[in-house]
Amino acid sequence: MVSALRDPNPAPRGAHRAYWLPLLFWSAGLVCMAAYHLIGSSIDEQGFLIEPFALIPLSWLFLVLGGVALLAIFLRPKRNRDR
């Protein structure tokens, strides 16, 4: 009965372990974007724009790094192809 509930084609142990770095980068990028929109911007009494501008390029940097890391995972040669 228990064997009927198991996945007939289970993924190899640790198969999803490689995706933690792109996921971390993308999460950091989305957090930066959300923080930028939540903090918002305003104009002070002297007419200067007050905004967390550093979060914009930082979020793009994290998103691009996540894409590069994911691309590197897919393009690297597979180990143990003969087995």
Q: Please report which confidence band the pLDDT of residue 82 belongs to, taking 50, 70 and 90 as the band edges.
A: very low
Domain count of the fold of the chain = 1
Residue 16 lies inside a defined structural domain of this protein: no
> Which domain range does residue 67 map to?
26-75
Q: Which residues contact 58 (CB under 8 A, 6 or more apart)?
A: 29, 32
Per-residue pLDDT reduced to its tens digit, 16-49: 778 899 999 999 999 999 999 999 999 999 999 9
| 18 neighbors 73 (Cβ within 8 angstroms) | yes
Residue 48 lies inside a defined structural domain of this protein: yes
pTM above 0.85, yes or no: no
Residue 35 lies inside a defined structural domain of this protein: yes
3-state SS track over the chain = CHHHHCCCCCCCCCCCHHHHHHHHHHHHHHHHHHHHHHHCCEECCCCCEECCCCHHHHHHHHHHHHHHHHHHHHHCCCCCCCC
Residue 3 lies inside a defined structural domain of this protein: no
Q: Please report which confidence band the pLDDT of residue 81 belongs to, taking 50, 70 and 90 as the band edges.
A: very low
Residue 40 lies inside a defined structural domain of this protein: yes
Residue 6 lies inside a defined structural domain of this protein: no
Helix 20-39 / helix 55-75 crossing angle, nearest 10 deg: 160
